[in-house]
Structure 1
């Protein structure tokens, strides 16, 4: 009995996998030795994503229905799905986790809906996705973080929306600078036409770079129209007088700095360009003196980006940045590069920092400065000692001279005493 129930359950499950939804039509195609199932659901009465789509479906088309929302994990059971077309429905919102478990999906089309935003972070659940169609929706902006989830997209159609500007992060993704392109050149096809673009430097750069021979980006339609610009509304981008981009130029405060060990140093650079450039600092090389090589073995991973720096933009087109190094050691010595980048290009300026020991900086000047004073002080000291010795000797001599009565002084005093005694005697005689 139990075995019979189990067989019935398996038969019903197998029938559910193989059966086609009543409101949909199924067809098969061949690829090699396997059959590929395609399911198309285009009944105008459909208002939600069908839940009984066969699990072996490779291509699913939900078109011209009343579906307005794509819920969470709407296609979770379709792990083999490669193509998902949701064109010309009434979709206004998509849950960020709608595409969970679609590891094999290659193409996602959402053309002709009512989307005012798109969950770009949901692209993480589709690592093999290459084609994304968002033509004819209501997208008015592209967030900067969208660039994090678009590196594998080779076909992106954003035409016929309400976009006005492109974030710089997307432009960095589509037009990487020379030397930063990983592997062979992979071209990307972009649909940017039929949007009310603000005709500024960025969209101008997209146009000019896409026309170059080795451009990684190919535009579906190069007839872009200025929708928002001063006195240029409705004019073709190629005919408008756009703001010209200016490649950054850098002026460092000093190109060579020598500072003693343990001191504090500020490295500063200023960049001008349009759009206003961003500045980054890179430690390019270490101290190359033969005597300090054993102290910089841990710096073999140069160059590396430095994160602790400050920058400010006092006005449009100008930006300055400083990096502060406190308590210099020999490991701080080397070449620092201040890099400025904007839409027009990349510029950099090297600053070489040399750290010298305290002895090398201070002893030599002290010897030159103290050489003469030391001799002079010694000389004056000897003279003072001589003078003091002479004066003390003279004092002693005076004391000795005063204590000793010369012979002629004693004789004269003795004679005078004798004379006075005789005179005294004569006076006494006369009085008597």
Structure 2
């Protein structure tokens, strides 16, 4: 039973290997001089075939109605080296479409309707050297694409809608001598027939591609670009190439300390060609003051500021100021003056600290009437008075022994008596009563 199952699996595998998709033409490559290839160019094909032989080396899907490339569309084609999907109706490519294409060296997608391309998925094709995207609708080339184009020696981006070339690609295509680990890799680029903006990035590519010993060769060196979007294309001149200069920013002060409620002006100057434009960005709130808890939650940072002034006294120079009136703790923080032109971007930070209380909002000090401290003599008399008016235990016993029971019922308690009558008078009264009592006792004794 096990043997029968194994035979069926082998038969199905061989059938899958040697079968050919419908409406396609297959070459088995059994002669040895040719590799196995599959060509599908029938207008009735509307999806990527799923039963392409596993040992296919070259696959051509051309002039069909295929509109999308699904996920893992070529997963079983681990030996595929050439994949041509030209002049179809492809509008989207799944990010995982090229999984397991470890041997692929050439990918052509010319003549489709692509508006974007999964650049980061080039990592699934580590041996890819040729990438053709001619005649599509690509409108942007992201900076991170340079991370995945290191092995590409032929890149055709012509006849698209590209306007800006990232500076990171210049570092990839024209590395500095210090960055080169060896001889620069030769590359062929197709950048023509795009509405490039006249910036220094595309100008630098043109200039370097014309120099002697350059590693980059342009398919067409007559690049046209527009000064701004919507204008007709013009031809770049060498005069524009030589004047490009990255902007440089110089702030009037890098650290400003101002009191609460005051007015302050932050200023920066920039130079470069073309004349740079300046923008202000608040990147963080100041956390070194007493209002730290408020600053952490009052706003989302960073944010671009809109109310500022800028002027250009001459070509290549621009200055800008931002005015802050009636400073509060929320105004404190780090501000960045950013300059931008065709050659690049530069910025400089300015830290603003708000401290203290402004003199305008400070109330006049009031003279507080201080209660005079009791003099030493007064305190001593109070202590003496307290000591005298508080009868001791011995005195209370003497009073209880001397005073008769009949008198205790009608007289005030010793504590109250000590507060009403002075001690020296009370002692005199007690001695008088004692004398009267003694005399009465002598008189009764004589009569008896």
TM over 0.5: yes
The secondary structure found in structure 2 opposite 1:57 is coil
The secondary structure found in structure 2 opposite 1:36 is coil
Offset of residue 128 of structure 1: 0.5
Partners of 2:350 and 2:179 in 1: CA distance = 25
Offset of residue 170 of structure 1: 1.5
Unaligned 5+ segments in structure 2 are 253-268, 277-333, 352-448
**1:235 matched to 2:241:** no
User: In the alignment, is the contact (CA less than 8 A) between 1:200 and 1:243 conserved in 2?
Assistant: no
Partners of 1:311 and 1:39 in 2: CA distance = 61
CA RMSD of superposed structures (Å)? 3.4
Query: 2:3 maps to what in 1?
Result: 3
Partners of 1:220 and 1:174 in 2: CA distance = 15
Offset of residue 250 of structure 1: 10
Go from structure 1 to structure 2 and tell me whether the alpha carbon gap of 1:193 and 1:14 turns closer, same or farther (over 3 Å shift). same
After superposition, residues 29-68 of structure 1 pair within 5 angstroms as 29=29, 36-68=35-67
Moved more, 234-243 or 105-114: 234-243
Provide, for residues 269-291 of structure 1, a one-character-per-residue CA deviation record: whole Å limited to 9, x for no partner.
Answer: x9954477xxxxxxxxxxxxxxx
Unaligned 5+ segments in structure 1 are 254-269, 277-309, 325-432
Query: 1:126 maps to what in 2?
Result: 125
User: In the alignment, is the contact (CA less than 8 A) between 2:102 and 2:126 conserved in 1?
Assistant: yes
Offset of residue 235 of structure 1: 2.3
Query: 1:427 maps to what in 2?
Result: none
- The TM-score normalised by the length of structure 1 is 0.57
- The TM-score normalised by the length of structure 2 is 0.55
Offset of residue 241 of structure 1: 5.0
Go from structure 1 to structure 2 and tell me whether the alpha carbon gap of 1:187 and 1:248 turns closer, same or farther (over 3 Å shift). farther
User: In the alignment, is the contact (CA less than 8 A) between 1:17 and 1:54 conserved in 2?
Assistant: yes
Query: 1:383 maps to what in 2?
Result: none
Query: 1:100 maps to what in 2?
Result: 99
Offset of residue 168 of structure 1: 1.3
**1:14 matched to 2:14:** yes
User: In the alignment, is the contact (CA less than 8 A) between 1:87 and 1:110 conserved in 2?
Assistant: yes
Moved more, 160-169 or 237-246: 237-246
User: In the alignment, is the contact (CA less than 8 A) between 2:138 and 2:160 conserved in 1?
Assistant: yes
Query: 2:397 maps to what in 1?
Result: none
Provide, for residues 381-421 of structure 1, a one-character-per-residue CA deviation record: whole Å limited to 9, x for no partner.
Answer: xxxxxxxxxxxxxxxxxxxxxxxxxxxxxxxxxxxxxxxxx
The secondary structure found in structure 1 opposite 2:46 is coil
The secondary structure found in structure 1 opposite 2:36 is strand
Offset of residue 234 of structure 1: 2.7
Query: 1:199 maps to what in 2?
Result: 198
Go from structure 1 to structure 2 and tell me whether the alpha carbon gap of 1:122 and 1:175 turns closer, same or farther (over 3 Å shift). same
Offset of residue 233 of structure 1: 2.5
The secondary structure found in structure 2 opposite 1:11 is helix
Moved more, 203-212 or 2-11: 2-11
Partners of 1:55 and 1:319 in 2: CA distance = 53
Offset of residue 242 of structure 1: 6.3
The secondary structure found in structure 2 opposite 1:3 is helix
Go from structure 1 to structure 2 and tell me whether the alpha carbon gap of 1:29 and 1:183 turns closer, same or farther (over 3 Å shift). farther
